Amino acid sequence: MPNALIDVLENPWVASVLIVVLAFSLVAVVRGVVLARLERLADKTDNDLDDRLVHLAKSLLGVVVFFSASLLILDLHQVKLTPFLAGAGIIGIAIGFAAKETLADILAGIFLITDRPMRVGDRVKLEFIGRDWGGWGDVLDVGLRRTKVRNTDGVVVNYPNSILATSVITNFTEERGPIRVRVRFQVDYDADVTHAMSVSAAAIAGVEGVLPDTTQVVARSIWDPSRGHTTAGVLLEGRYRITDVRKRTGIRSNVLVAVLAALKAEGVPFPAPRIQIAGAPSPE
């Protein structure tokens, strides 16, 4: 290498420009060749885990390359990196405390992407966080910080991933076969329970959307464990299967209406509700 070229490269400003050019070139080559090829391969697979990992690599590539380039440039200009790195560490800790919720969301998002308890398009039920809007919905996107779910009211809800990570996620799409639905109701103790079960089973089986030969009615209980006494009547449970979980609420409503109508038509008595007013003496 000619001495003149060596002298030019030894100039810290020229070397700094060269490092910046090489950094941009490296990012462009990796994104345009390596990651683009990986992205095409990921598009051919059925799962979305590889797609999200490629997207994450794209997001982090520039940060890693240009941070490394900055350290090299500072070293060329004889800037002591130890105090800089120490200061950066302190700043990083401060930012970490200030943005701990954001970092928790990102870490939880990585776990959701890798563990895949739900995917885009899945119908899920989210326990403990649905509240008034309900926890049922279709997954629209699983991001690094938030997950979008369109609930059954048609409202798009953005859930923080840190909350989702501690929630119970029931995925109804992973099970491709029919799912079982339950509906509970009571009849009076004086009723013919066997007859009531037969009538309600026939009513459930006749509802549109209930799969044939999947209906069963069982006597569930006569005891209320939460209150420590017998129930107002015999608790029955109707069980049936449907093919589309998205129609669960509508079919369940039709099942209840059909059961009530059938039992009333047969004269099956319903129990009188037990209402206990606070402070009132219990009936003898």
pLDDT at 284: 42
For the chain, the domains span 3-98, 118-171, 179-265
Is the pTM higher than 0.75? no
**CA neighbours closer than 13 Å in the CB half-sphere of residue 15:** 18
Q: Both tokens of residue 172?
A: 């109804």
pLDDT at 283: 43
Q: What is the CATH architecture of 118-171?
A: Roll (2.30)
Residue 39 has pLDDT above 80, yes or no: no
Q: Which CATH code fits 3-98?
A: 1.10.287
Residue 280 has pLDDT above 50, yes or no: no
CB atoms within 10 A of CB 176: 7
Q: Both tokens of residue 117?
A: 């308890």
* Dist. CA 273–CA 206, nearest whole Å: 28
Q: How does strand 156-160 pair with strand 169-171?
A: unpaired
* Dist. CA 154–CA 149, nearest whole Å: 9
Q: Both tokens of residue 70?
A: 């900055």
pLDDT at 145: 82
Tens digits of residue pLDDT in 92-144: 665 555 556 777 777 787 778 777 888 888 989 887 665 554 578 899 988 87
Most confident of 14-28, 51-65, 236-250: 236-250
The mean pLDDT value for 139-162 works out to 87
Residue 43 has pLDDT above 60, yes or no: yes
Tell me the residue type at 268.
Answer: V
The gap between the terminal CA atoms of the chain, to the nearest Å, is 108
Residue 192 has pLDDT above 70, yes or no: yes
* 256 CB-contact burial (10 Å; exposed 0-12 / middle 13-18 / buried 19+): middle
Q: Which CATH code fits 179-265?
A: 3.30.70.100
Alpha-helical runs (H) found in the chain: 3-10, 12-29, 36-43, 49-76, 81-98, 100-115, 161-165, 193-205, 248-265
Tens digits of residue pLDDT in 212-266: 999 999 999 999 888 888 889 999 999 999 998 888 889 999 999 999 999 999 9
Question: Which of the residue ranges 46-60, 99-113, 161-175, 233-247 would you say has the lowest mean pLDDT?
Answer: 46-60
pLDDT at 251: 95
The residue among 192 and 18 whose pLDDT is bigger is: 192
